[in-house]
């Protein structure tokens, strides 16, 4: 028994958002690739065709197609993962974030690792 992939029909606002995510240089590449998967699915391509075009497995395509179908664009984001506890103290991190919102004091335009 074969399973059929859910049909993806995009609203114009969703299509615009997905295209922006797929093109932006600031988008994490995993999210950009998922946006490309959904856009290709909306264009009527099969999971196999999308996988070949984007160099991912058809299983991966099916996973993200179904995730978009059920949860929309928010379904394409990475979920929180368990891992090792942070080594940084929250107070130090808070001070560092506050410092980084200010301009560097030596006349530079950006912060560097050394600063």
Query: Is 2 a residue whose pLDDT tops 70?
Result: no
Residue 110: pLDDT band (50, 70, 90) is confident
pLDDT per position as a tens digit, 54-108: 999 999 999 999 999 999 999 999 888 788 877 778 888 888 888 888 888 777 8
Please provide the size of the chain in residues: 115
Q: Output the pLDDT for position 90.
A: 84
Q: How many helices, marked H, and strands, marked E, lie in the chain?
A: 5, 0
Q: Can you list the domains of the chain with their CATH numbers?
A: 12-76 (1.10.10)
> For residues 71-102, b (16+ Cβ closer than 10 Å) or e, as one string?
eebeebeeeeeeeeeeeeeeeeeeeeeeeeee
Is 39 in contact with 18 (CB distance < 8 Å)? yes
pLDDT per position as a tens digit, 34-47: 999 999 999 999 99
Q: Output the pLDDT for position 95.
A: 87
Residue 1: pLDDT band (50, 70, 90) is very low
Q: pTM for this structure?
A: 0.69
């Amino acid at each position: 028994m074969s399973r059929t992939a859910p049909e993806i029909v995009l609203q114009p606002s969703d299509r615009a958002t997905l295209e922006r995510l797929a093109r932006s240089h600031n988008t994490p590449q995993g999210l950009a690739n998922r946006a490309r998967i959904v856009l290709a699915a909306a264009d009527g391509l099969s999971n196999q065709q999308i996988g070949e075009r984007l160099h991912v497995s058809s299983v991966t395509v099916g996973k993200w197609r179904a995730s978009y179908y059920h949860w929309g664009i928010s379904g394409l984001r990475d979920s929180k993962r368990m891992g090792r506890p942070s080594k940084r103290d929250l107070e130090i991190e808070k001070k560092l974030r506050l410092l980084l919102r200010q301009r560097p004091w030596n006349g530079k335009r950006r912060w560097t690792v050394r600063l």
